[in-house]
Amino acid sequence: MQITIEDISPVEKRVDFEVPWADVAPRLHTAYEKLRREAKLKGFRPGKVPRQVIERLYHNQVEGDVASELVELSIRQAIDEKQIEPVAPPTVDKLELKQNEPLRFSARIEVRAQVTPKDYSGIRVSRRPSKVTDEQVAQALEGYRRQHTAFLPVEGRDTTADDDLLRVEVHGKVGEHKIKTKTVTVDLTDENAGGLPGLAPRLRGIPVNAAGLELRYRLGDDSVIKSLAGKEISLRVTIKEVRGRKVPALDDELAKDTGEASTLDELKAQVRAKLVEADQQRIRREMASALVKEVVKRNDFPIAPSLIDRHAENIVARVKTQLMMAGIDVEAEGGYNHEAMKKEVHAEAEESARASVLLRAIAEREGLQVDAGDMQKRLVELANARGESVNKLRTELENSGRIEGIRAQMLEEKALDMLLGQAKIVDEDPDSLIITPDQGGGQRLVLTPEEAVDEARKKGGQPPGK
């Protein structure tokens, strides 16, 4: 087979193929013979249909199938031999299959641009201080009380209380999206209960036997589901069941019931430690996001449209899942518009795609690798989360080709970890213990309190906080 590769652009290649007739003819013969044995034609016994009859009746189908098979095999061979990394299925054109002549066709293949990353080491990144307030601890403790709360049928009152648990039937529209009739559980203490922001507050203080109750309101711009921000809500709600809370006291007995502590004070300490850890993880994600944005900003390169499209599809899939969880019928006519949503997220998708390409390029330049131990650890984590065996999950991922996607994601994570390790982290210190870049004169930006005191004294000033 002859393969000729032409670079159309930094992100697209044209590959011309020529498969010798000697490789095509046997496949055609095998296909015709198989069809001849299986064909059932009037006037012929099974398996006795003449070859020329089969060719006359089915040549378009047979030649099309053989050509498709050879195209797939040829492209796969070219990708392996020439080390081409496509980002989307190739587009085939100029396919020619003639008797006693080579099979000729061309394929246009979009690829990742060859990027030489620059200016990615030592980027300044702001880090906010980790803070956990007494109010947050109190809210977390209330969560334990909710977990151990009993819900009893309501008796002796006519309206719902602010902390009731309702089972309601709801249908209607969210903007242009239709909500199928469904029954949901709504905790009136949760602003976003029932999967639809703003529903719970509007079910407080209404008749416990409300039927066909009409609710109309508009979601704020700060809606937890961004795609629904500013949308007009129109619902019909019928209450099926109302249950009231029997909340346990916040005391040592509750602490013991959690199985995590023996006393309330001990439980409070554990809660605070967990909140600190969670906030530190959020801080790291914030820093990572800012770092990636800056790296993308410093590196301009061409990128394949199909790669952006793939990232847009992933973003839209997440949005679609959010809408479905909110009860919205995404298949309803005139509602969810897939292509329109992709256009809305195009900028975000392009940034995500560029970040992915850059992180992989940085990983390659720095010699980072995902070894067998790394992969095994990740597969164990995924298998445990899905409640299945590691071997079954590995087989499934390998057969579907998705295991390479996991490997690529892990490689990007390693590159990001390295960038964070090399970053110049500027702490946002409320006591001004940080020397600004201008003041630092290129020196280390983050100082300990003792260093800051010494620095101030050297300059003849007062130590911070004095």
* Alpha carbons 347 and 190: distance in angstroms, whole number: 33
Q: Read off the pLDDT of each residue in 410-431 and give the average, rounded to a whole number.
A: 87
pLDDT of 225: 72
pLDDT of 330: 73
Q: Whole-model pTM?
A: 0.66
pLDDT of 37: 84
Angle between helices 346-365 and 403-422 (to 10 degrees): 80
pLDDT-derived band at 439 (thresholds 50, 70, 90) equals very low
* Alpha carbons 352 and 292: distance in angstroms, whole number: 9
Which domains can be identified in the chain, with CATH numbers?
Answer: 2-110 (3.30.70.1050), 150-246 (3.10.50.30), 269-424 (1.10.3120.10), 429-458 (no CATH)
Q: Read off the pLDDT of each residue in 264-268 and give the average, rounded to a whole number.
A: 95
pLDDT-derived band at 334 (thresholds 50, 70, 90) equals low
Q: Read off the pLDDT of each residue in 368-381 and give the average, rounded to a whole number.
A: 94
Q: Read off the pLDDT of each residue in 44-49 and give the average, rounded to a whole number.
A: 79
pLDDT-derived band at 1 (thresholds 50, 70, 90) equals confident
What is the percent of the chain where pLDDT is above 70? Answer: 90
pLDDT of 432: 36
Is the pLDDT confidence value at 433 over 50?
no
pLDDT of 227: 74
pLDDT-derived band at 176 (thresholds 50, 70, 90) equals confident
Is the pLDDT confidence value at 94 over 60?
yes
Phi, psi of 413 (to 5 degrees): -65, -40
Is the pLDDT confidence value at 389 over 60?
yes
Is the pLDDT confidence value at 266 over 90?
yes
pLDDT of 314: 92
Is the pLDDT confidence value at 460 over 80?
no
Query: Which residue from 85, 74, 154, 141 is spatially nearest to 306, judged by alpha carbons?
Result: 85
Q: Read off the pLDDT of each residue in 15-43 and give the average, rounded to a whole number.
A: 89
C-alpha torsion 302→305→306→309, nearest 10: 120
* Alpha carbons 112 and 302: distance in angstroms, whole number: 9
Per-residue DSSP letters for 31-91? HHHHHHHH---TTS-TT---HHHHHHHHHHHHHHHHHHHHHHHHHHHHHHHTT--BSSPPE
Of the two residues 457 and 177, the one the predictor is more confident about is 177
